[in-house]
Amino acid sequence: MKAIIVTHGGVGSPVSHGDGCQKAAEEALDTLRKTSSVLQAAVRGAAVLEDDPRFNAGTGSNLRIDGKTIEMDAAVMDSDGNFGAVAGIQMVKNPVLVAELVSKSPHLMLCGPGATEFARRYKIPWYNPITPKARERYKKVKKNLSKRRLPYWAKRWLNLPYHLEGCSDTIGIVVSDGKGNFAGAGSTGGTSYMLRGRIGDTPIIGSGIYVGKKGVVVSTGIGEEIIRRMLSKEVYEKIASGISPQKASDWGLTLFKPQKPANITPVGIIAVNKTDYGISNTHQMAVGIIKQS
């Protein structure tokens, strides 16, 4: 088996959190060995990252602007065309497991209370993902907003340097089994400045994730900007045309032209094809990598 697995801990995440990303990649490899399923591998790897409270996904997810609510997004996809996503799901430990269940249903995406209700049908128990770190982060965001005396909903998020306040630490994984099968998964508690009901790129096919017969791409960063560019699909098309995952990912970053150097949109991309991987990021990003030779 010549598997390639890459995981990320969100653009902006401290590189020192790479141990958590590596652990997730190893879990994915172990699952791939046991099940021969790239989808299972991606899901299990993503669940390890969701359970690590340092990351903004599952346990440790960001609070919404009301300071009370956590609404999480997640998606899974494989090169057989299976796709499942949840958006704004609440009170579950592992949104990625629910996304996987959705991929087996007649639907592609479930949102809000319907997604939570669907999880309960599968006996996924009630779980509160709020952590002390998430509360701290929220307090910082609130303080920052009041300093600016802005109605928080009135400005484009990009006018605020919110990547410095931890929009990051979301998680993602890309898996190749070396035989032409690919899968990916992403999961997030969203950004920092978020209204309730806001949905980012992570659960949107072609934006936060895309998988085809030639590879898989998963993105992280400001969801609104990633959706506008359908980033993962665009990068995938480059890979499908024969460009290496590294060059394709580097190209993906060029789609985000900063107005000022200080305003660089935080974006990270991980990608694999059958033989190689690519990682591109505008800011620091924890990653885990396995490339079997």
Residues that bind ligand ASP (CB under 6 A): 10, 167-168, 170, 188, 190-191, 200-202, 220-223
> Whole-number minimum distance, CB 99 to ligand ASP, in Å?
14
Give me the residue label for tokens 């970053």: 253
What is the enclosing helix (H) or strand (E) of 144?
A: helix 132-148
> Whole-number minimum distance, CB 201 to ligand ASP, in Å?
5
Q: In what order do the strands lie in the sheet containing 171-176?
A: 109-111, 83-89, 72-78, 182-188, 171-176, 4-11, 285-291
> Whole-number minimum distance, CB 202 to ligand ASP, in Å?
5
Q: Does the active-site annotation cover 170?
A: yes
Give the start-end residues of each E strand in the chain. 4-11, 72-78, 83-89, 109-111, 171-176, 182-188, 209-212, 215-221, 267-272, 277-281, 285-291
Cβ distance to ligand ASP smaller for residue 181 or 188: 188
Nearest residue to 99 (alpha-carbon basis) of 208, 236, 23, 198 = 208
Q: What is the distance between the alpha carbons of residues 167 and 146, in angstroms, rounded to a whole number? A: 18
> Whole-number minimum distance, CB 155 to ligand ASP, in Å?
17
Residue 278 CB neighbours (<10 A): 26
**Around 255, how many Cα atoms within 13 Å sit in the side-chain half-sphere?**
21
CB-based contact 199:65 (threshold 8 Å): no
**Sequence-separated (6 or more) residues with CB below 8 Å from residue 226:** 200, 201, 207, 208, 219, 232, 267
Cβ distance to ligand ASP smaller for residue 168 or 282: 168
Say which of 7, 170, 202, 265 is annotated catalytic. Answer: 170
> Whole-number minimum distance, CB 151 to ligand ASP, in Å?
21
Helices H / strands E in the chain, number of each: 8, 11
Cβ distance to ligand ASP smaller for residue 84 or 190: 190
Positions marked catalytic:
170
